[in-house]
């Protein structure tokens, strides 16, 4: 293989981690390629992000645009960008230049690199209860920002006691008649968010509620849950919004890195190196770090680039 077809670094993912990595790699004049399905990452659906440092309020869509335009400032001799491409597989190949990473795209194209930074984040977890598959897109949805306005003046339920659940509830309160949030255990969302929502008379929080079944005809018309004592309670609602966590988007690297039991990539927290291979790093929500935030994903990726640069320079 010709040397010019081999990148110093392949970065996969266009969320805050991937975008930060691409900017830092280009500024260090590494021959890099950024491959991503979509710009912006998970919080692209947020209507108001309030903790992206330096910007008191920004929508997820605007954050995505800003990340894209910042990265594109550096596109050129050193940085190539491939948008809309899903990476489906990865392998290590022996070559005359030593081990190389081979990345395969859904189009069938292969890309080779001396190093790889994985920043593919995670996707929403689907709920596995009776009626959930049947009523998906018929009243059961995984995106309050995308589908919320269709439930104006209706009673809805949000499932999930993390930040994403409370954030969805907060968005829905702007137009729904009532929002009931079902949380299996004590909510894990930030206290400030929980307290703010509790002051809204249209909001109700039920703790110790385990969702059981979705009911409906053509569309959702009710949900039932088991309360703390195991009693089945039925609520008449027109919409169910599910926010029960994330599944790491790491299927395409499972052959070349070590994953934990939840599918997250195990990394060394000092350097962001993935556990199995010396050529591979990972950053952001795809990794087994404890906290998942935009600023953290961005900083973790920068840390990884520093280590990749040092490693390749001293090789």
Ligand X SMILES: Cc1cc2nc3c(=O)[nH]c(=O)nc-3n(C[C@H](O)[C@H](O)[C@H](O)COP(=O)(O)OP(=O)(O)OC[C@H]3O[C@@H](n4cnc5c(N)ncnc54)[C@H](O)[C@@H]3O)c2cc1C
Contacts to ligand X by CB under 6 A:
12-18, 35-38, 41-43, 45-46, 49, 51, 86-87, 119-122, 164, 167, 249, 252, 284-286, 292-295, 297
Provide the minimum distance between the beta carbon of 43 and ligand X in the complex, in angstroms, as a whole number: 3
Closest to ligand X by CB, 17 or 159: 17
CA R_g for the chain: 22
Least Cβ distance, residue 157 to ligand X (angstroms):
17
In degrees, rounded to 5, the angle at the alpha carbon of residue 13 between the alpha carbons of residues 7 and 17 is 100
What's 164's DSSP letter?
H
Beta bridge partners of 215: 222
Shortest Å distance, C-beta 294 to ligand X: 4
In the bound complex, what is the minimum distance in angstroms from residue 200's beta carbon to ligand X?
19
- The nearer residue to ligand X, 2 or 53, going by C-beta atoms, is 53
- Number of residues written out for the chain: 315
* Nearest distance from C-beta of residue 73 to ligand X, angstroms: 18
Q: Which is nearer to ligand X, 42 or 238 (CB)?
A: 42
Q: What is the DSSP string of 168-222?
A: HHHHHTTT-SEEEEEESSS--S-HHHHHHHHT-TTEEEEET-EEEEEEESSSEEE
DSSP-assigned letter for residue 27? H
Plot region of 284 (φ>0 → left; ψ -120 to 50 → alpha; else → beta) = left
Cβ proximity to ligand X: between 159 and 249 the closer is 249
Q: Cβ distance 270 to 187 under 8 Å?
A: no
59 vs 221 by CB, closer to ligand X: 59
Residue closer to ligand X by CB (options 8, 285) is 285
Closer residue to ligand X (CB): 40 or 131: 40
Question: CA-to-CA distance for 145 and 121, rounded, in angstroms?
Answer: 20
Residue 75 sits at the vertex; the CA angle it makes with 92 and 34, to the nearest 5 degrees, is: 25
Least distance from ligand X to the Cβ atom of residue 168, Å = 7
What the block records as the tokens of 166 is 């409370």
DSSP states of 91-146 as a string? EEEEETTEEEEEEEETTS-EEEES-EEE---EEEPPP-SBTTTTTBTTTEES-HHH
Smallest distance from ligand X to CB 135, Å: 21
């Amino acid at each position: 293989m010709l040397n010019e077809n081999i990148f110093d670094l392949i970065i996969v993912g266009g969320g805050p981690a991937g975008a930060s990595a691409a900017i830092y790699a280009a500024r260090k004049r590494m021959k890099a390629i950024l491959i991503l399905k979509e710009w912006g990452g998970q919080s692209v659906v947020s209507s108001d992000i309030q903790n992206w440092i330096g910007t008191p309020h920004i929508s997820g869509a605007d954050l995505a645009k800003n990340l894209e335009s910042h990265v594109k400032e550096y596109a050129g001799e050193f940085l190539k960008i491939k948008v809309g491409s899903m990476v489906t597989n990865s392998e290590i190949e022996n070559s005359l230049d030593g081990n190389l990473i081979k990345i395969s795209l859904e189009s069938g194209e292969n890309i080779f690199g001396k190093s790889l930074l994985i920043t593919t984040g995670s996707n929403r977890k689907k709920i596995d209860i009776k009626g959930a598959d049947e009523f998906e897109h018929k009243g059961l949805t995984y995106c309050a920002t995308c589908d919320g306005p269709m439930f104006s003046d209706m009673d809805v339920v949000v499932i999930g006691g993390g930040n994403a659940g409370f954030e969805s509830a907060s968005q829905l309160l702007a137009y729904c008649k009532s929002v009931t949030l079902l949380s299996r255990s004590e909510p894990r969302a930030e206290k400030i968010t929980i307290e703010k929502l509790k002051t809204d008379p249209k909001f109700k929080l039920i703790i110790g509620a385990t969702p059981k079944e979705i009911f409906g005809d053509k569309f959702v018309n009710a949900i039932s849950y088991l309360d703390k004592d195991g009693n089945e309670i039925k609520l008449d609602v027109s919409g169910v919004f599910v926010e029960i966590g994330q599944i790491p988007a790491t299927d395409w690297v499972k052959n070349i890195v070590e994953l934990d039991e939840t599918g997250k990539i195990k990394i060394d927290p000092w350097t962001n190196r993935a556990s199995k291979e010396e050529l591979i790093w990972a950053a952001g929500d795809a990794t087994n770090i404890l906290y998942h935030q935009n600023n953290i994903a961005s900083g973790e990726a920068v840390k990884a680039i520093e280590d990749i640069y040092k490693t390749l320079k001293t090789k």
